[in-house]
Chains A and B, each alone.
Chain A
Amino acid sequence: MQGVTKSYPNGRVALRGIDLTVPEGDFVFLVGPSGAGKSTMIKLLIRDELPTRGEVLLDGRDLGRLKRREVPKIRRKIGVVFQDFKLLPNKTVRDNVGFALEVTGARRRDIDPAVDRVLRVVGLTGQADQFPNQLSGGEQQRTAIARALVHNPRLFIADEPTGNLDPLISWEIIQLLLRINELGVTVLMATHNAEVVTAVRKRVVALENGRIVRDEVDAAYHRED
């Protein structure tokens, strides 16, 4: 991100002059109070919003200059999960994950093997035929992670993935994200979970009022001066 400012039509300025570079294969925690601009940053990265000023470059491509029909192709390189999972309640785990392939035009015979592979990665092989309401919160989030992984993304974005989960389950999810990172995927995780951030010791980018106030490697949730 180079000199990115984002203001909304209602006049609120969510991000001010953000410069941030994330090398491929990095693991970054995005922290800060509610309203600091974390969600806006994620929306810019998945090109759900466009920056008012500045450039958002992904793999060297300016997301603001993409043609409309190129947007879906970029999105397939990015896996996203959210606090509220966003699963379809009337589909099984397998179909929820397969949905991501189905709606992007994958051939049907290619879908099942790909789904089985990511379900093994997230450890949900045994629950493949259950519906979301039969799953625990952690299992639902793992289903969402599997769906985000099924396109083999280069960048994995998690927006408060543990916000709805208890501490133990949160740890499982973090472990899973770390494993995904080990597989070579760049991971960006926005979170409030201080305990996790401090324990994992990764790069921490702190936002406040739309500005980056801290950017440290091997860091804790709070400033340690």
Chain B
Amino acid sequence: MVAFIGFSLRRAWQGFWRNGLMSLAATATMVLMLVMLSGLIILLTGLDATLNYVQQEVQVVAYLKDSATPQDVASLEASLQKMAQVTQVNFVSKDQAYRDFLARHPDEADVINSLPTNPLPASLQINLRNANDYLDVASYLNNQSPIDRVLNIKETVDQMVTVIGILRAGGAVTLVIGGLIVLFIIVNTIRLAVVSRADEIEIMRLVGASDAFIRWPFIFEGALVGLLGAAITIGLLFIGQGPITSFLSDYFKVLPVDAGAAVGRNIALIVLGTGVGIGVLGSYLSVRSYLIR
């Protein structure tokens, strides 16, 4: 067994270097495809993070009656906190609302100051776990006595949820299609490398080599191509890390995560796994067509 593994590894190594040009072509294709794939993943991760961020920004704003007592408000706040859909509840007092208004519209200070009393209601600002829950929380609030009315942004929320859904689905489809294209191209390149050694496989069959002895050197060689391709790709991504991160934070202005560090490790693992996996799969499929008879 040890001798067999030694033999396979040795043959894989020889095969890789003796067919330098084919190995180079396969590795280069692998690198190109893996870079494209990781580019796609980085872009989609950025998109996803942005969408998450946007979703979390959806707030239910409920205006309180001026007659509502602090106790009523406090108990309402407490019951909201217990709801699974709610992440955070902020109480904005009448005074706070007044100051916010002035800060936002300094030109209209005269208008509001000319009124005898502060017309702005106190409100509760409720952050949601998911924008889809907007209606649940809004209808709950409508039935509560301290609530005057709930700001109706249902249409806006619905549109946003739809757009986010389409973007998510589009991203997933792009990733799957991109992945399949990458798989197809790499498997074919490796197939070329195997086909260029068809005579070697034929001789092995003629002299009575078992399937395992024919197959495993090629599989190890495919793994080697994958490993090398992945290593080069990760190296390139590491070099490009700085520019990529700054591009992403420029492009997705509100991106709340650091794409360089958190995503980087995942992408390295994906690249490595994909590279080696596709290398092995490509070799396996290519050699198989010579073994089946």
Which residues of A are at the interface with B, using a C-beta cutoff of 8 A? 46, 48, 68-69, 72-76, 78, 80, 86, 88, 90, 99-100, 102-105, 107-108, 147-148, 151
Contact = CB atoms under 8 A, between A and B. Distances in A.
Most chain A C-beta atoms within 10 Å of own C-beta, residue among B199, B200, B205, B207: B207
B204 A103 contact: yes
A14 to B, nearest CB: 16
A72 B203 contact: no
7 contacts: A69-B210, A72-B210, A88-B200, A100-B208, A104-B213, A105-B210, A148-B207
A105 B211 CA distance: 12
Contact of A75 (B18, B200, B208, B213): B208
Contacts of B4: 105
A86 B203 contact: yes
Nearest to A81: B206
4 closest residue pairs by CB, A with B:
A75-B208, A76-B208, A100-B207, A103-B209
B207 A75 contact: yes
Contacts of A73: 208
B206 A80 contact: yes
Contacts of A88: 199-200, 203
Most chain B C-beta atoms within 10 Å of own C-beta, residue among A99, A103, A104, A148: A103
B202 interface: yes
B205 A75 contact: yes
B11 to A, nearest CB: 8
A103 B214 contact: yes
Given A88-B200, A90-B18, A104 B211 contact: no
Contacts of A68: 211
A107 B210 CA distance: 15
Interface residues of B, number: 19
Contact of A99 (B18, B199, B203, B205): B203
A80 B202 CA distance: 12
A108 B213 CA distance: 15
Interface string B24-50: 000000000000000000000000000
Contacts of B7: 102, 105
Contact of A104 (B18, B199, B200, B208): B208
B208 A72 contact: yes
A144 to B, nearest CB: 10
A151 B204 CA distance: 13
Nearest to A76: B208
B239 interface: no
B286 to A, nearest CB: 18
Contacts of B206: 46, 75, 80, 86
Nearest to B293: A48
B261 interface: no
Nearest to A89: B199
Nearest to A69: B210
Most chain B C-beta atoms within 10 Å of own C-beta, residue among A74, A105, A147: A105
A104 B207 contact: yes
A51 to B, nearest CB: 14
B262 interface: no
B3 interface: yes
B18 A103 contact: no
B211 to A, nearest CB: 7
Contacts of A69: 210-211
B209 A72 contact: yes
A99 B214 CA distance: 12
A72 B199 CA distance: 17
Nearest to A48: B293
Contacts of A108: 3
Nearest to B209: A103
Contacts of A72: 205, 208-211
B209 A104 contact: yes
Contacts of B18: 90
Contact of A147 (B202, B207, B211): B207
A86 B3 CA distance: 26
A125 to B, nearest CB: 21
Nearest to A103: B209
A74 B207 CA distance: 10
Contacts of B204: 103
B35 to A, nearest CB: 32
B156 to A, nearest CB: 65
Nearest to A97: B207
Contact of A151 (B3, B200, B205, B207): B207
A90 B20 CA distance: 13
A61 to B, nearest CB: 15
A114 to B, nearest CB: 13
Contacts of A105: 3-4, 7, 210, 213
Interface in B174-205: 199-200, 202-205
